[in-house]
Structure 1
Amino acid sequence: MVESETHPRAAVIALSGYRTGGALSALDDIERYWTQLRDDQGSLPSRAQLDPRGFSRALSNCFVAEAMAPRHLRLRLTGQHMTDLMGMDMRGMPLSAVILPESRPMLEDKIEALMTGDGTGVRLTLISPRSYNRQALFAGMLLLPLARENGTPAKVIGALATVGTVGWTPRRFQILGETARPARRPDLAEGDAESRRPSLTVIQGGVVEPAC
């Protein structure tokens, strides 16, 4: 058993894939598009305003979910990557189905904060632990709120991207922590990678021992 695969600091390894053009860059593409829509109109974008051409490189990683309770989301549209991870079409399933039972209360807390908060998104660092014939698989999950439309359930646009080999499916994940994006400094250039590098807030008790 490799310590880096079971200790919270394993998240640092996951973040090594978080660079422009890296395995987790799909999260940036979708968040950048959502932010641009929000900045242009001064309020949350709606589902109807989303144009897939605006984040075409990230379509495989993208999903749209709707609130079915204050702490739960149901997947309405999913990209191919989630299908590949779970080995099945996830449309109509709860988002929590991709999370291991030990981490589902944490996900529910984050969803509740997202749906009742100030419109700020949530970005999580995840791990699918190593088990028989499967290597540890690191991942990032992004959840961004959308505006309500004519009394319809609240919706979320999100993304799930991984670093590593998928192996046998399904791959379910535990939450290592929440990735906070630091406030942008005006003196940093637009393309400066340091301005986009995240930090990780580890959620204590969020790591379970993988099967050997």
Structure 2
Amino acid sequence: MFFGSRKGSGQNSGQDKVISMDRFRSGCSLSAIRQAEAYWTALRQGDDIPNRSQVDPRGLENILSQTFVLERIAPGIARFRLAGQKLNEMAGMEVRGMPLTAFFTPAARKQVSASLEHMFDTPAIVELTLTTVATRSHPAQEARILMLPLRSDLGDVSRALGVFVSEGNPTNSSQRFDVVATELRSVTAIAPTHKKPVLGSPAKSSNQVNAGFAETQAKFGEERSVMDEARALAKKSRQIMEETRQSLKKPCDQSNSKQNQASHLRLIVSRD
């Protein structure tokens, strides 16, 4: 905190003016969070959840080092697909491929897992207020995480765009956080609708790759059901049997025709 300077003969006049620096620190932290949330909201079409392929790093250029992308791999578990430099500095290593819970103490991991499940299943926006464990040499450090749900290229809500803001890493070692507060905000989502292409306009592929964070997915063809395969196999069997029957019938027909064309004995009577 900063104390006002003393002016004139009044020694206590300046001491009454106290400015709390927490207000400015929180405002600085929230700026990156609000910028990411505003960008995510702009990507939405109506009440639907944005697709991960829509996320362009140019739209988050100012906070790219604090941004990350999560992938849901199991109930309550999500790993880092992409992570900015600030997250690597807080972890003291490359975090890509690591689970999000690696940033938290064992006591806080269950709470984080429950928040992840709520985000993907509801879906919902998750904002966590975090703190590190204070030591003799270093006081507790505050941090915040914002996670915004995204749809994968398959249409399910299994990705998340996140922002991590903190006061820095004075220890230059791996940091572990406790959860101080959790804020969950439900998102009204609608099922994706498949629109028919207008005549004269090129059809847009569902697996079209956009620039930025887009994932490359192979385009799958229509998968036949078991009944369709059984019908095709039965039809092929009938064709084989019919061809075999036709091939066996031809020699018999040829032998009968030869018998019908065979010469007959002719009896000649002479009365000379």
Fold-level similarity (TM above 0.5): yes
For CA contacts below 8 A with separation 6 or more, give which structure has more relative contact order.
1
Unmatched 5+ residue regions in structure 2?
Answer: 1-20, 186-272
- TM-superposed deviation, 1:69: 0.7
Give yes or no for the alignment of 1:44 onto 2:43. no
Give yes or no for the alignment of 1:78 onto 2:83. yes
Quickly say closer, same or farther: Cα 1:164–1:91, change in 2 above 3 A: closer
Which residue number corresponds to residue 227 of structure 2? none
Quickly say closer, same or farther: Cα 1:69–1:180, change in 2 above 3 A: closer
Query: How is 1:110-149 mapped onto 2 (pairs within 5 angstroms)?
Result: 110-117=115-122, 119-149=123-153
Which residue number corresponds to residue 188 of structure 1? none
- TM-superposed deviation, 1:153: 7.5
- TM-superposed deviation, 1:129: 1.6
Superposed CA deviations along residues 134-165 of structure 1, whole A, max 9, x for unmatched, are 33110000111001322677111111110255
Q: Distance in 2 between matches of 1:14 and 1:68?
A: 37
Aligned AA for 2:42? Q
Aligned AA for 2:172? W
Superposed CA deviations along residues 167-212 of structure 1, whole A, max 9, x for unmatched, are 231011000012468xxxxxxxxxxxxxxxxxxxxxxxxxxxxxxx
Unmatched 5+ residue regions in structure 1?
Answer: 1-12, 182-212
Is this contact kept in 2: 1:133–1:168, CA < 8 A? no
Aligned AA for 2:139? Q
Q: Distance in 2 between matches of 1:164 and 1:95?
A: 18
Q: How many residues are paired up?
A: 165
Instruction: Pick the aligned partner of 2:174 from 170, 177, 185.
Output: 170
Percent identity among equivalent residues?
A: 33
Quickly say closer, same or farther: Cα 1:26–1:149, change in 2 above 3 A: same
Instruction: Pick the aligned partner of 1:34 from 37, 40, 65.
Output: 40
- TM-superposed deviation, 1:15: 6.8
Q: CA RMSD in A?
A: 2.2
- TM-superposed deviation, 1:37: 1.0
Q: Distance in 1 between matches of 2:183 and 2:24?
A: 13
Quickly say closer, same or farther: Cα 1:45–1:15, change in 2 above 3 A: farther
Which residue number corresponds to residue 17 of structure 1? 25
Is this contact kept in 1: 2:43–2:50, CA < 8 A? yes
Q: Distance in 1 between matches of 2:96 and 2:30?
A: 22
SS in 1 for 2:26: coil
Which residue number corresponds to residue 66 of structure 1? 71
Which residue number corresponds to residue 6 of structure 2? none
- TM-superposed deviation, 1:14: 6.6
Bigger radius of gyration = 2
Superposed CA deviations along residues 116-148 of structure 1, whole A, max 9, x for unmatched, are 10x320001000121253331100001110013
